[in-house]
Structure 1
């Protein structure tokens, strides 16, 4: 099973970037990258959101390795609003850190959508 670092490294290679240029573009210290590689630490939630947006991959894949790192396309996404409405009541059952993760994921989705709009303008 791949680690978060290994998935980030894979994306860096796929984009033809050097680790140094990747770090510079996302304002990541090479020391932090080294810690991620050695397993001493992992990127924080905000940095994972930035990395996901930078490479246009889902946090689900980046964090858990689920599915494939396909490029996200906002226009191809379909949402089941009825299911979302019934899920709202279950939010109260979540732990505070799970609620915070959902808020951050929503912020990521909004950031990604705005970035796509800006790129297409």
Structure 2
């Protein structure tokens, strides 16, 4: 699975959904799905976050196809404030594109935690 679309299609099949049902549940037009399939476009950040949360997969896997062994696992515990400061200093060494990805990933994990909290209520 080399593309985001192929990974989404895999998840749809794995969950036993039709593409139409998936699109309806996440408010995605079938035209957009077609564009993703043809490589004309890819899902936007917010839609990727929704898709990741819907299927309970990481953005690393959804966007890049990285396996759990290649990425840091979520839920490995909270960072201490000292670790956060250390990471903040290190972000200056990252490219702007990498910094943006990290910000989006943080938004995704916050969104996922919120959905889990709502489900546990």
The offset of 1:113, in angstroms, is 0.4
Unaligned runs of 5+ in 1: none
Q: Whole-Å Cα distance in 2 between the matches of residues 113 and 92 of structure 1?
A: 27
Q: Which moved more, 1:53-62 or 1:86-95?
A: 86-95
1:98 matches 2:98 = yes
Matches within 5 A, 1:52-63: 52-63=52-63
Q: Which moved more, 1:85-94 or 1:11-20?
A: 85-94
The offset of 1:29, in angstroms, is 0.5
Q: Whole-Å Cα distance in 2 between the matches of residues 117 and 87 of structure 1?
A: 27
SS in 2 for 1:108: helix
Q: What count of residue pairs does the alignment treat as equivalent?
A: 116
Q: Whole-Å Cα distance in 2 between the matches of residues 35 and 87 of structure 1?
A: 37
Cross-structure match for 1:77: 76
The offset of 1:36, in angstroms, is 0.5
Cross-structure match for 1:115: 115
Q: Whole-Å Cα distance in 2 between the matches of residues 33 and 103 of structure 1?
A: 26
TM-score, normalised by the number of residues in structure 2: 0.83
Cross-structure match for 1:14: 14
Q: Whole-Å Cα distance in 1 between the matches of residues 7 and 84 of structure 2?
A: 30
Q: Whole-Å Cα distance in 2 between the matches of residues 80 and 120 of structure 1?
A: 23
The offset of 1:88, in angstroms, is 1.2
The offset of 1:49, in angstroms, is 0.7
1:47 matches 2:59 = no
Aligned CA RMSD, in angstroms, stands at 2.1
